[in-house]
Structure 1
Amino acid sequence: MAVAVAAPNMAAVKEPAGTIPARRLTKEELLKSHQAYLEKQENDPHAQHEHAHARPVKQPILSEAYPPSTKSIRELEIIPLSELRVGEHHRGKAIVVKIASPPFIGAGAVSIVEDEFGNADRLAIYNQPDTSILSAVPEGCIVAVKEPFYRHNGSENDFMICVDHPSDVILLRFNDPIIPEPLRLGPLLQTADEWKNAGDRAFLERDFPTAVFCYSEALESSTDPSFHASIYSKRSGVNLILGRYDSAKADALKSLNSDSPSPHDWKAHYNAGRALYGLCKYSEAMTHLAKALELNPSNSSVQRDHERCAARLREEQTGEYDFSAMLASAQKSVHIDCGSFLSNTYVGTSPLHGRGLFAARDIKAGEIVFVEKATLMPNQYDPARSSAALYALTVRQLCENPSLSETLLDLWDGGYERSGKEGTIVDGVPVIDVYLVESIRIKNCFSAPRSTFEDTRPSWPSHRQARGLWAHASYMNHACVANTMRSFIGDVFISRATRDIKAGEELFQQYVPVRSLPDVRNKQFKDGWGFECACALCAGERRSSEAALARRKELLAAVEKLCNKKLPRKEILPESTIRPVEKLARQLEEAHEADVYDGLPRLTLIYPCNWLIGAYRGHKNHTKVIRYAKKVLRNFGFRVPEEDGGEWDPREIYSKSGNATLMTVHVVAALRRMAEAYEGLGQKEMAKRCIEAAKFGYMMVTGFENDLSNLDK
C-alpha cells in the first residue's frame, strides 16, 4: 500500500459539534468541484505516478482516536444523509448510499454519494488495501457505512463522511435486502455463467479485485456443487495473487470434492499449501504440498514448492542458515525466503514488564538465540516514509489475512483502550481499529538496515533504514547491558548471545543504541516506551550523586568540544593537541565513583578513549594504543587486566566478563586496533588472539561470520 504521510484536512470554517448543517453543498455543486479534482488528477502525470506507486497514507493521530463499529449493519438504524451531524460518530446508526462519481484517489478514495432521498455528500474512504474494490469504489456501487463520522471538509458548507477504520464500510451485493428500493439496480448480470465469464475477463485484464467480486457473485447465483468447485478453484488462485492467503486457503479446500475425488484435487492441495506457505505456516503447508505431490508427482511446480517448504522446515528445526546466500538475496529483495528458528526461547512472565522472552536451554556466547522472519516489513528505506509504509502494510494484512490478528493484536499497545472485539469477523470482514494498529506499531517496530553487515561500513548511509514488526522479538524487554545482540539481513532478524546465558534466564536486547549519560537515555525510554530501565548499569548509576553526574557531563562536553566530536583518521596530531584530551580523560575517569562503577560500564569514557586510540595510532605509539583499547573494553564492562603487560586472552572476554557488559561494533574496532599494535610490538600471538576475538565479536554484530576489512570500506 502507500508509503507517504498525508495530513488530515483541517476545517477552515466550523459549525458547532453535534448540529445539523444549516446548508450543505448541493449534488451539482459537489459534482462540479469533484470533477475539477478528477481533471487535475488525470492531467497530472506526477500525480498519476504517485497514485500508482506511492499512494499517500492518512496516518492516524492518536489524540483523535475513536473506536470502530463492532456491530453488524443489520443491527444499526439506517438514517438519511440529511440527519448527519457535524463532528459526531452516530453510534447505533448507519447510512446506505450509492457511489455517484468516479473516485478521486489521494490518501484515500473520495467519491460523491447519494442516498435514497436524493441527498448528496462526500465520502472519503481511507486505509483500504489496494487490492480491495473499496480502495477506489466504482461509480454505481452501493456501500454501507457503519456509525459514520461526519466532519467539516475545510470550506464553507462543505462536509465529508470520513471512514478511517476499514471495517466501518461494506460493499453491498446488488440484491442485498438492506438496499432501499430507490437505490436498487438489480444484478448487473443474470446467470452464474455470466458472472464467471465476467470474472475470467477481469482476470485476463489483471483486474483481480473485480475478478474476485465476479466469482463471488457466480457462487451466489448457482447451486451446482461441481460448478462451485471450479469457481472456488479460480477464486483461490486470484486470492493467492492478491496475497489474501486466508481466503485462498479456504477457497482451495472448498474446491475439493469430498464425495468423489477429482483428478484436479492436486490443484486444491497445491493452492492450500502455497497459501499456508505465504502465511509462514510451513508445517501445515507441507501437509498439503505432500498430498499435491502424491497426486501429481511429475509437476515441476509442485516439486519445487515441496522442496522449498522442506528447506523452511529444516531451518525452523535446526537453526542452520546459509547467511551468505541470504545476504546476496537481500540485494535483490529484502523479503528473504526462510523459516524462523525460535525453539531456543519461550514467552513467559517477566518480573519487569509483564511478559518477556526467556532461554529454553543454556546458550553460549556467540550462539544463535533465535532467527525470525519479519511478521511485516515493507521495502521502504526512506526514513520519512518508512513508518507510514509499515502502518499501511499492517492494516492491509489485518484486512486481507485476519488470522494474523492473533499474532499482531497480542502485542503491547502502550495502554490503548480496546473493545475486545478487534479482529473478530463482523459482516464478513475483521474489525480493525487503525488507532490500535498505530499504537502497536509505535511500541513494537524495529528499525532495520538492508543488512547490518553493510551498515557497519563507515561509508554506508546508516540513516536509510526500514521499519518492521517481528512479533517474537517484540516480547523481549530492554536492558542497556543486554545479553543478546540483534542484526538484520533483509527482513530477517538474527539474535545472538553476547555472553553465556542459562536456561530459564530472561533475554534482553537494547531497544535503541545506549546513550552514555543515564538521565538522557532514561528520558528516551520514558518518553518512547513509558519505563525507566532497571538493568544493572542504570540501577548502579542511580546511586551516583547529582554532583558526580554533573561533573561527568561537564567533562564529556569539554572533551567533545575540544575534539569537535570527531575521531582522528590518518592525520598525525601534535602532542600539544593530544595532552589536553588525555588530561580530561583522566579527570573523567576519576569522576566515576569506585563504589558505584565497580564491575559496571563507564560509557562517558568511550569517546575520549577511542579518540586517544586514533591519536596514538597516528604516532605509532603501540603501547598507548593497547592501553586505551583495553580501557575501551573495560569501559564497556569487559574484564581486562589493568596493567599494560602480562598475559591475557582477549578471546575469553565474552564468556568471562560477568553480566554487565555492553557489546557494540566499537568493541570489535578496539580489538582490531589492539591487534595492530601487538603486531607492531612483535607480539604475534597476542595479535592473533585479538583478531580472533574481533572476528567473534563481529559475528555477533553482523549476525554471521564476516571479513573484518568491511569496517574499512
Structure 2
Amino acid sequence: MAVVVAAPGMASAKDTAGAIPTRRLPKEELVNTHKTHLQKQDNSPNAPRPVKQPAMSGAYPASIKSIRDLEIIPLSELRAETHHRGKGIIVKAASPPFVGAGAVSIVEDEFGNADKLAIYNQADSSILSGVPEGCVVAVKEPYYKNNGAANDFMICVDHPSDVILLRFTDPIIPEPLRLGPLLKTADDWKNAADRAFIEKDFPTAVFCYTEALEASEDAAFKAPIHTKRAGVNLILGRYDSAKADAMASRSGGPQDWKAYYNAGRAAYGLCNYTESNTLLTTALDLNPTNTNIQKEHARCQARLREEETGDYDFPAMLASLSPHSVHLDRGSFLRNTRIAASAHHGRGLFATRDLRAGDVVFVEKATLMPNQYEPARASAALYALMVRQLCDNPSLAGAVLGLYGGAEYTERRSGGEGTTVDGVSVVDVFLVEGIRTKNCFSAPRSTLEDTRPSLPEGRLAKGLWVHASHMNHSCVANTMRSFLGDVLISRATRDIKEGEEIFQQYVPVQTLVDLRNKQFKDGWGFECGCALCVGEKRSPEAMLAKRKELLAAVEKLCNKKLPGRELIPDAKIRSVDRLAKQLEDAHEQDVYEGLPRLTLVYPCNWLVAAHRGRKNHGKVVKYCLKVLRNFGFKVPDETEVWDPREIYTNSGNATLMTVHVVAAIRTLAEAYEALGHKEMAERCIEAAEFGYTLVTGFKNDLATLDR
C-alpha cells in the first residue's frame, strides 16, 4: 500500500492551519522564481486564458466590509489556511504579473515583508486582471493558503471584489508605499489616457481618465473627459459606467446630443430598450439629421416592437447565425407570462392569458451566453462571463443574484452580494457558480440543426436566461423550448389557461422513475411531483424491477440501436415483440391510464424501424401508434378513424413531447400513404409539421429531420 510522506520540514496544511508559518520564502527567492515563470509566459493576444472555477466544497463568502473599516495587518501576521475576517492588507506590486488562470504577483508591505498574491476572476476590462508593477492594492479579509510545497504560501483572492486598486494619492496607503501621483496635472493624465486609448489599452485609459477627473475642478475640462471615458466603457462593455459618464458629460447646450446618444447606446447594451428609446429620442430631438442617431433609434424601435408583439422573423434569424456570430440583436417577448409564488418550488412562471397549443409562450434573449460550443469549456466560459458582467455591470445583480443558488449555499448568503462597497460591486464567485449550475441551459447553435444527422456531437453552449430560469420542472411539461443562437423560444405543447403555471423539462426525461428522481434530487434538490412521477410511485418496487429487467433484455438483444434500412430476421422481430408485450403487461392499468409508459418507447421504436425496413406498413402503423401512446398521447387502435391533427389538444395533461413524437407521426404518414390512405397521410404530415414547429421553435421543412 502506498503512503504519502510529507516533505522534510513541511507539515500538512491541516496541521499548520491557523498558525503563522515558521519560515517564509525571502523576497529575493520569490522574485527570482517569479522571473523564471515570467520567461515562460505566453503573451500571445490570442492565447486562450484558463479559468479557475470554484469548488463548492471550499466555499467562503465575499467580504462586504469597506477596507477602511478593517484592521490593516502586516504580511508577517498572516496565518496559514485562514480567512482573516475583520482584517485587511495593503501591498505594492513588486513584480510584473504572471497571467494564467489568475494573475500572480510578488507584493510587499510597508515593513518590507514580501509574499505572493494570486488574483482570480478579474474581468479583462480591469487593470486587476494583471496588476502593473508599482501599483498599490488592498485585499479585504485575505485568505492565506499553502501553495503545495514547504514554506510556499500565497494570498489567494477568489472574489473579485475582495481586492481594490488604490489611487496613488489615497490617504490609506502607508507612507513607505506612497509614491505620490505619477503625473502632476489633469492634462498629463488626460494625455496619458489618450495614448493608452490609441494603443488599445482600454483599462489603462479608463484609469487615467479617472485620475484626470480627480485632479481637476474645472467643469468645462471634465465634460469631454466624461465623454471620452463613456466611449471607452462602451468598448469594454461596461454599460452602467458608460451611461453614468455620458449623463455626467452634459453641459446644457445643443452638443448634449452626444451625451444622450452614448447613454442610449449603453442602455441598449443592457437590453433596457424603453430607457434607451427615451435617451435616443432626446438625442434625435437635439440633432435630427444625425444618421448614427437615426440608425440606433430605429434599431431600438425594432426591439420595442418585438417586446410588444412577439413578432420575429425566425428564418432570417437562423440565416444570420454562424460559428462566429450567435448573439442575435433581438428583444425579449415576455408579456404572456408573469413571475409569482408557486405551490411547487419557490417561484414559477404563470400564463397571463389563455394560450393554445403551438402558441409562443415567450421569447427571451440570453442574459448571458458565451460563444463557446465545446462542452469541456462551455461551463467555465459561462461562469467567467457571469462574474465579469456582474463586476462590469452591477445593475445585473438584482436579476441574476435573485436566482436560486442551491441549498448548500442558501445559508451562506450575506445579503450584501450585489451591493457597492469601496466603489465596486460585491461579487461572490461561489454564489455565482451555484446559480450557474442550477439555472443554466445547454443550447445548440439552433435546435433545427440539432435534429440533423450531420451535426457534430456535443456542440452545445451554456447560457443563462433569467426569465426562463423561474420555470419549474415537469417531466410532462406544457411547454417546449428551442434555441436560435442566444435566443430561447418557448411554445405551448398543449392548451394553457390564464393563471396556469407554466412548466418545462430541465433535462431530457430519463426512462426509469428512480433514476430520474435521483437526477433531480442530486442536481436541484427536489423530487418531481408531476403526474407521471406521482403516478409511477404507486407502482410496487417489484413491478419497477420487472420493467427494468425486461427493458435491459430488449436493449441487450438490440444492442441499444435502432435498425436502419437493413432487413431484420423474423426471429429477432418476434423476440423483441414478445419482450415488448411482456413489458406492456408489466404496466398496471390503474397506474398508467393516461400516463406515458417510457420503458416501452425504445422497443416500440425498434419495431417501427424493423417493420419499416420490411415494408410491412400495417405493422408500422400499429407500432407508430404505440410509440405515441407510450409518450402519453391519446390514439386509437390502428383500425379506427381519427384525426392526427388533434393529438396535441385531445390528449390530456400528461403528454411528453419530444422530437421522437414528430418522427413517429411522419413515419405514420409514410405508412398510410403506402397503404393508400392519402387523406390520413396528409393529416399526419400536418400534425408532424405542427410538432416540428414545437421542437425547432418555428415552421420548418420536415425533410431536415433525421430519419
TM-score, structure 1 normalization:
0.96
- 1:275 and 2:266 aligned: yes
Cross-structure match for 1:448: 443
Q: What secondary structure sits across from 2:670 in the alignment?
A: helix
SS at match of 2:209: helix
Please tell me whether residue 397 in structure 1 is matched to residue 389 in structure 2. Answer: yes
Aligned to 1:44: none
In 2: Cα distance, 1:28 partner to 1:455 partner: 57
The counterpart of 2:589, out of the listed 594, 597, 601, is 594
The one-letter amino acid paired with 2:27 is K
1:462 and 1:357 mapped to 2: Cα distance?
32
Matching of residues 481-500 of structure 1 within 5 Å: 481-500=476-495
- The reply to whether residue 163 of structure 1 matches residue 168 of structure 2 is no
- 1:239 offset after TM fit, Å? 0.2
Determine if the alignment matches structure 1 residue 255 to structure 2 residue 249. Answer: yes
Do residues 323 (structure 1) and 314 (structure 2) align?
yes
Given that 2:479 and 2:504 are in contact with CA atoms closer than 8 Å, whether structure 1 keeps it comes out as yes
Equivalent in 520, 535, 544 of residue 525 of structure 1: 520
- The question of 1:473 aligning with 2:468 is answered yes
Shift in Å at residue 166 of structure 1? 0.5
**Aligned counterpart, 2:340:** 348
Give the whole-Å Cα distance in 2 for the aligned partners of 1:198 and 1:85.
Answer: 40
Deviation of the 1:39 alpha carbon: 0.6
What is residue 76 of structure 2 aligned with on the other side?
82
Task: Determine the structure 2 residue equivalent to 1:20.
Answer: 20
Instruction: Tell me the amino acid that sits aligned with residue 167 of structure 1.
Output: S
Amino acid at match of 1:277: Y
Q: Is the 8 A contact 1:13 1:152 kept in 2?
A: no
**What corresponds to 2:400 in structure 1?**
408
Amino acid at match of 1:187: P
Amino acid in the other structure paired with 1:262:
G
How far did residue 13 of structure 1 move?
5.4
Count of equivalent residues: 693
1:241-297 CA-partner distances (Å, limit 9, x unpaired): 00000000000000011xxx2232111101000000000000000001111122222
- Cα distance in 2, alignment partners of residues 268 and 330 from structure 1: 33
2:298 paired residue among 297, 307, 310: 307
1:357 and 1:534 map into 2 onto residues whose CA distance is 17
**Number of the residue aligned with 1:671:** 665
* 1:493 Cα deviation from its structure 2 partner: 0.6
Q: Distance in 2 between matches of 1:167 and 1:640?
A: 59
Gaps of 5+ in 2: 1-9
CA contact (8 A) 1:97 1:144 kept: yes
Letter in 1 for 2:228: K
Pairing 1:412-427 to 2, within 5 Å after superposition: 412-415=404-407, 416=409, 417-427=412-422
Question: Equivalences for 1:587-626 in 2 at 5 Å?
Answer: 587-626=582-621
**How far, CA to CA, are the matches of 1:627 and 1:301 in structure 2?**
62
Alpha-carbon distance, 1:52 to partner: 3.9
Partner in structure 1 of residue 6 of structure 2: none
- Residue pair 2:94, 2:105 contacting (<8 A) in 1 also: yes
The 8 Å contact of residues 449 and 462 in structure 1, kept in 2 or not, is answered as: no
Q: 2:451, 2:706 within 8 Å by CA — same for their partners in 1?
A: no
Asked whether the equivalents of residues 12 and 154 of structure 1 are also in contact (C-alpha less than 8 Å), the reply is no
Counterparts of 1:48 and 1:623 in 2: how far apart (Å)?
Answer: 67
Distance 1:276 1:187 in 2: 34
Tell me which of 173, 179, 188 is aligned to 1:179. 173
SS of 1:222's partner is: coil
Q: Tell me whether 1:361 sits opposite 2:361 in the alignment.
A: no
1:411 Cα offset (Å): 0.2
Distance 1:69 1:712, change over 3 A: closer
Residue 572 of structure 1: CA displacement? 1.3
- What is the deviation of 1:506? 0.5
> Could you tell me whether the CA contact under 8 Å between 1:13 and 1:155 is conserved in 2?
no
Q: CA deviation at 1:200?
A: 0.6
- Could you tell me which amino acid in structure 2 is paired with residue 370 of structure 1? F
Q: Quick one: which amino acid aligns to residue 619 of structure 1?
A: R
2-structure distance, mates of 1:249, 1:48: 33
Give the aligned partner of residue 559 of structure 1.
Answer: 554
Match of 2:192, SS? helix
Residue type of the partner of 1:480?
Answer: C
Q: Which residue of structure 1 lines up, in the alignment, with residue 656 of structure 2?
A: 662
Residue 584 of structure 1 pairs with residue 584 of structure 2: no
CA distance in 1, matches of 2:472, 2:190: 52
Q: Distance in 2 between matches of 1:104 and 1:354?
A: 44
Counterpart pick for 2:379 among 366, 384, 387: 387
2-structure distance, mates of 1:382, 1:53: 16
CA contact (8 A) 2:97 2:103 kept: yes
Unmatched runs of 5 consecutive residues or more in structure 1: 1-10, 42-46
Is 2:59 aligned against 1:65? yes
What's the TM-score once normalised by structure 2's chain length? 0.97
User: What's the CA shift for 1:299?
Assistant: 1.8
Mapped to 2, the partners of 1:373 and 1:252 lie a distance apart of: 26
State the partner residue of 2:284.
293
- Aligned residues with identical type, % of pairs: 72
Instruction: Summarize deviations over 1:305-327 as a string: whole Å, max 9, x none.
Output: 11111110000000010111111
Q: Distance in 1 between matches of 2:254 and 2:638?
A: 78
Q: Distance in 2 between matches of 1:410 and 1:144?
A: 29
- Tell me how far apart the structure 2 counterparts of residues 300 and 250 of structure 1 sit (CA, whole Å): 24
How far 1:462 sits from its partner (Å)? 3.9
Moved over 4 A (4+): none
CA displacement 1:92-122 (0-9 Å, x = unmatched): 1111111000000111000000111111000
SS at match of 1:113: strand
Is the 1:313–1:339 contact (alpha carbons within 8 Å) kept by the matching residues of 2? yes
SS in 1 for 2:82: coil
State whether residues 363 and 502 of structure 1, in contact with CA within 8 Å, keep that contact through their aligned partners in structure 2: yes
